[in-house]
């Protein structure tokens, strides 16, 4: 609870007047009728690490910050703000959770000695003081690489394509002294294996390889293997992973028969099964206009036409549709019935041994007698 001496008047662009209580935690809690607002000064969650890279290679610094409002991160080189107008410098920002920001400063290709400098990450959010951390980059010419500098002997290649649901293994092996540790980047950000159980780095068979299990469309992106030891850091060539969604137009795997015969008053069931990717919806229609399947409850892949007490012959059409197209198959249900008593009976050509009878029948032509 705050004492009266701990309250101060605060004027902001959002609230005309508010009161602020300073807590021991360093957070600020603003009280206003029906409004409560919690602020938190920025703090660094990940600091950039010193790096040793080779000329014409890649250097990548990562910085993470937390606060409320979410902090903004910018970079400085030798106390001057880094401009992304320089073609070799790229800054990639990423939102992490509700209150954290991540930022990567990537230099590619590195140049010696012009990139040798101290690089500084700054985070600010308008609450309290900005926070910062720095790291030194040292770039070696090829001829001056120190002994034991990491060498990637096998990278993942430049592109790979897989289907959704399949597994992918991206190769990466490296040598160096001491033996380099291998980690992976996706779209310039370091992969967090703890938050995605489908990602793992193999330690047997293909040590250092990245395995992606049950691939999803969200796995598509640019992947990069990085080998690092105490001597230096080496990046492999970036590889583009494409994750394809197999797309197949609808087709019938169990189409309805062209004709079914049923006795008058009996029941009949006719299945209709269709496949495709994406899976199609399946519905039935009687004649040309009578829809038999509710549009809001269309089954996927399979729909059985169930008719009870059938009395009239008619055409029934099974329709399978997806975003890739629509197909139809029609079955004719023929109703079989006993003939009615004859009418207009006529006798002719009577002889001692024979007689000729003729008559008419009242049944419609589309009913077949048996």
Mean pLDDT of 32-58: 85
Give the span between the Cα atoms of 226 and 51, in whole angstroms: 12
Q: Does 72 score more than 70 pLDDT?
A: yes
Which strand (E) or helix (H) includes residue 250?
A: strand 248-254
pLDDT of residue 38: 73
Average confidence (pLDDT) over 232-251: 94
Environment class of 158 (CB within 10 Å of its CB; exposed 0-12, middle 13-18, buried 19+)? exposed
Q: What angle do CA 227, 228, 230 make, to 5 degrees?
A: 155
DSSP 292: -
Structure tokens at 30: 């603003």
Average confidence (pLDDT) over 159-166: 92
- What is the C-alpha separation between 87 and 82, in angstroms, rounded? 11
Q: Is the pLDDT of residue 296 over 50?
A: yes
Phi, psi at 269, each rounded to 5°: -125, 130
What is the number of other CB atoms lying within 10 angstroms of the CB of residue 137? 21
The first and second tokens of residue 304, run together, are: 């059985």
Sign of the CA dihedral with 158 first, then 174, 233, and 145 last: negative
- CA-wise closest residue to 250 among 218, 229, 273, 268: 273
Q: What does the alpha-carbon distance between residue 37 and residue 126 come to, in Å, rounded to a whole number? A: 14
Query: Is the distance from CB of 64 to CB of 97 less than 8 angstroms?
Result: no
- Which has more pLDDT, 367 or 268? 268
């Amino acid at each position: 609870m705050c004492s009266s001496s701990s309250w101060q008047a605060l004027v902001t662009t959002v609230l005309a007047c508010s009161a602020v209580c300073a807590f021991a935690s360093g957070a600020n809690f603003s009280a206003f009728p029906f409004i409560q607002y919690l602020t938190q000064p920025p703090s660094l969650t990940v600091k950039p690490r010193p790096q040793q890279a080779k000329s014409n290679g890649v250097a990548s610094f990562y910085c993470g910050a937390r606060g409320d409002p979410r902090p903004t991160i910018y970079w400085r080189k030798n106390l001057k703000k880094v401009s992304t107008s320089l073609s070799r410098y790229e800054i990639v920002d990423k939102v992490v959770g509700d209150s954290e920001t991540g930022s990567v400063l990537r230099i590619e290709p590195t140049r010696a000695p012009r990139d040798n400098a101290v690089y500084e990450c700054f985070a600010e959010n308008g609450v309290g003081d900005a926070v910062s951390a720095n790291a030194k980059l040292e770039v070696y010419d090829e001829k001056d690489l120190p002994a034991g500098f990491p060498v990637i002997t096998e990278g993942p290649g430049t592109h790979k394509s897989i289907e959704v649901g399949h597994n992918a293994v991206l190769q990466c092996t490296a040598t160096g002294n001491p033996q380099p540790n291998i980690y992976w980047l996706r779209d310039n950000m370091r992969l967090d294996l703890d938050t995605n159980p489908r990602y793992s780095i193999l330690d047997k068979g293909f040590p250092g390889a990245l395995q992606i299990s049950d691939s999803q469309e969200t796995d598509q992106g640019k992947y990069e293997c990085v080998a690092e030891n105490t001597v230096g850091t080496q990046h492999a060539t970036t590889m583009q992973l494409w994750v394809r969604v197999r797309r197949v137009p609808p087709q019938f795997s169990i189409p309805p028969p062209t004709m079914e015969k049923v006795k008058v008053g009996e029941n009949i069931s006719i299945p209709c099964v269709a496949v495709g990717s994406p899976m199609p919806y399946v519905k039935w229609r009687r004649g040309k206009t009578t829809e038999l399947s509710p549009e809001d409850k269309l089954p996927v892949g399979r729909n059985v036409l169930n008719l009870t007490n059938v009395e009239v012959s008619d055409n029934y059409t099974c329709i399978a549709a997806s975003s890739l197209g629509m197909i139809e198959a029609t079955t004719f249900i023929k109703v079989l019935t006993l003939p009615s008593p004859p009418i207009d009976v006529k006798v002719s050509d009577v002889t001692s041994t024979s007689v000729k009878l003729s008559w008419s029948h009242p049944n419609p032509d589309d009913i077949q007698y048996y």
